Structure 1
Amino acid sequence: MASTTGDKDQYILLRDSSASSRLFGQHFIMTAKNGGWLLHPNVQATAEKSRARIADVATGNGVWAGEAALKYPDAQIVALDMSDKQYPPGWTMPKNLSFDTYNVLQAVPDKYIGYFDIVHIRLIAGGLKGPADYAVVTENVSKMLKPGGYIQWQDVYAPGWQIIDQTLSFDVDDETFPPFLAKFDEAVSGGITQTLSRGINHILKDNDDFADVEMMVPGVVPWLLKYETDYLAISFAELVKGSRGTRAVGEESLRLLDEAEGLLQEYLGQGGLLTYKTMSVVARKDNGA
């Protein structure tokens, strides 16, 4: 994602083959934690309509869009991202899936205004800078949707990473950063708390364009925890690597990054497990909007 103040790429993770593999595994873990659905039950009837148009915003490598194209063969799926570096060859994808480049923090192209029945977004918080960017995304999605269309937005529920033990204690309202994440937050310029939101549902409720706002927070799935921990460890390594010399500049910041990596490796070395707390928010664009 990019900043609203310019075209500089603010995406802090990587776009290499390893990162794409991480996105692939992350997709299936998040889908399983959601109960197996790609689209919330409230949205599925719209997706199943003949010639429904579905956008996957910030698609990354397009794995969600690819699976959605197979699940909804009568729909037209459009995968959108500010970068096409992770896109698969078009000829390998289902015929009802197309790819395009678009940064959701920028003006909506005319061809996509009032075009979609559903806009799906997942995990873009790391590329947003506080409430203003969330508002821009919400306004742009509203412009992309037909009246009566749906937004489904799944993103980190701050602070995201949560330590899990055999009690499987999962506190939805716990905002405490694990030690390694607190150290990372200390290292990067401006911290990462500004990019996280606990209120996408409130943002949509406060926007007169949207109605019927619902939020769910997926719980812990014990059998997935080892695999979830593995992808989170890879994600954290990407965060650290992507921050060096960009959001973490200077000897002290780099030292703190090293400490953050060390704290995570120490925890994992003791057999520690992690889960990633997210929220899924669904809302309908009002017919009069």
Structure 2
Amino acid sequence: MASTTADGDQYILLRDSSASSRLFGQHFIMIARNGWLLHPSVQPVAEKSNAKIADIATGNGVWAGEVALKYANAQVVALDMSDKQYPQSWMMPKNLSFDTYNVLQAVPEKYIEYFDIVHIRFIMGGLKGPEDMAVVIENVSKMLKPGGYVQWQDVYRPGWQVIDRMLSVDVGDEKFPPFLAKFDEAVKGGLDRTLSRTVHHLLKGSDDFANLEMMVPGVLPWLLKYETDYLAISLAEMLKASRGTRAVGEESIRLLDEAEALLQGYLAQGGLLTYKTMVVVARKDDGA
């Protein structure tokens, strides 16, 4: 849920069946835009016999499931702080297992230097700031074997963008679409846009990682209708979650109502949305 709980849950979306469907759509949109499940630099590692692959903040495990099918000789572990969206184990490939783990907490001993690859996708909404980001990077380093890889895809500033048929977007760092700016105001800065470049900078400045690569997937015109639908569903879910938890008081409710009205008005006029992301890949130093 969107509220902060005793175990530090900062999730700004939901964990019901509709949310799981959103994650399923999000997965295939991002794979289409990226062109791969694993970055080409990482694929040879996954192809090795008995490679260990972790998917952090796995949600419903759709990425982990597809990776387990594609790399049948690998062992894939799907990790999330909540198991509410996990499928039943019998449905999944035999080389995929699920476990609960909050990446902001101490790494379990069994996962210390256990993985050849750690995958992360879209966790910034659950982080409070650069300090949390640094904790994640430190824990990822602990989980990786020397020479292992992290692949991290997340929002890239400014994230949400309105787009037209000429594929021109608002490239201003600080300017969100009006409906998202209104949501941001309602939750009092709940969307930390300063994090969007932090992962790249922290990995680049870390003594633990090298061979850093970064890419920003481009816009695919044929995908824009589906991407717009996915983003509209995502914002509606954020609004619903916020009304139930974060949004306290009449002023916040008013702002959330205004955000929803602005979104629906934009969509009714045939407006399109895209989500700017980045993929960062880095290799843990092996001392060689």
Is the shorter-chain TM-score for this pair beyond 0.5, marking a shared fold?
yes
1:173 offset after TM fit, Å?
Answer: 6.3
Q: Is the 8 A contact 1:212 1:284 kept in 2?
A: yes
Could you tell me which residue of structure 2 aligns to residue 95 of structure 1? 94
Could you tell me which residue of structure 2 aligns to residue 155 of structure 1? 154
Q: How many residues align?
A: 288
Distance 1:5 1:19 in 2: 19
Could you tell me which residue of structure 1 aligns to residue 9 of structure 2? 9
* Secondary structure of 2:228 counterpart: helix
Could you tell me which residue of structure 1 aligns to residue 214 of structure 2? 215
* Secondary structure of 1:73 counterpart: coil
Distance 1:3 1:146, change over 3 A: farther
User: Residue 20 in 1 paired to residue 34 in 2?
Assistant: no
1:2 offset after TM fit, Å?
Answer: 10
* Secondary structure of 1:198 counterpart: helix
Could you tell me which residue of structure 2 aligns to residue 114 of structure 1? 113
Q: Is the 8 A contact 1:3 1:128 kept in 2?
A: no
Distance 2:260 2:41 in 1: 41
1:247 offset after TM fit, Å?
Answer: 2.2
Could you tell me which residue of structure 1 aligns to residue 128 of structure 2? 129
Higher mean displacement: 279-288 or 199-208:
199-208
Could you tell me which residue of structure 1 aligns to residue 56 of structure 2? 57
Could you tell me which residue of structure 2 aligns to residue 200 of structure 1? 199
Distance 2:113 2:106 in 1: 13
Long gaps (5+) in structure 1: none
Q: Which residue identity does 2:24 align to in structure 1?
A: F
Q: Which residue identity does 1:202 align to in structure 2?
A: H
1:190-221, CA deviations, whole angstroms, 9 ceiling, x for partnerless residues? 34125742231111011110001111011100
Q: Is the 8 A contact 1:2 1:105 kept in 2?
A: no
> Could you say what the CA RMSD is over the residues aligned between the two structures, in angstroms?
1.9
1:244 offset after TM fit, Å?
Answer: 1.6
Distance 1:287 1:149 in 2: 8
Q: Which residue identity does 2:11 align to in structure 1?
A: Y
Could you tell me which residue of structure 1 aligns to residue 237 of structure 2? 238
Percentage of pairs with the same residue: 81
Q: Which residue identity does 1:161 align to in structure 2?
A: W
1:270 offset after TM fit, Å?
Answer: 0.3
Q: Is the 8 A contact 2:179 2:260 kept in 1?
A: yes
Could you tell me which residue of structure 2 aligns to residue 40 of structure 1? 39
1:79-131, CA deviations, whole angstroms, 9 ceiling, x for partnerless residues? 00000010001001001000000000000000000000000000001000110
* Secondary structure of 2:154 counterpart: strand
Distance 1:172 1:152, change over 3 A: farther
Distance 1:134 1:4 in 2: 17
Q: What stretches of structure 1 move > 3 A for 4+ residues in a row?
A: 1-6, 170-175
1:251 offset after TM fit, Å?
Answer: 0.8
Distance 2:68 2:8 in 1: 31
Distance 1:250 1:5 in 2: 19
1:207-253, CA deviations, whole angstroms, 9 ceiling, x for partnerless residues? 11000111101110000000000010110011111112432211111
Could you tell me which residue of structure 2 aligns to residue 184 of structure 1? 183
User: Residue 225 in 1 paired to residue 224 in 2?
Assistant: yes
Could you tell me which residue of structure 2 aligns to residue 287 of structure 1? 286
1:278 offset after TM fit, Å?
Answer: 0.5
Distance 1:191 1:10, change over 3 A: closer
Q: Is the 8 A contact 2:55 2:119 kept in 1?
A: yes
1:153 offset after TM fit, Å?
Answer: 0.3
Q: Is the 8 A contact 2:3 2:246 kept in 1?
A: no
Distance 2:242 2:69 in 1: 36
Long gaps (5+) in structure 2: none
* Secondary structure of 2:287 counterpart: coil
Distance 1:173 1:95, change over 3 A: farther
Distance 1:195 1:7, change over 3 A: farther
Q: Which residue identity does 1:106 align to in structure 2?
A: Q
Could you tell me which residue of structure 1 aligns to residue 140 of structure 2? 141
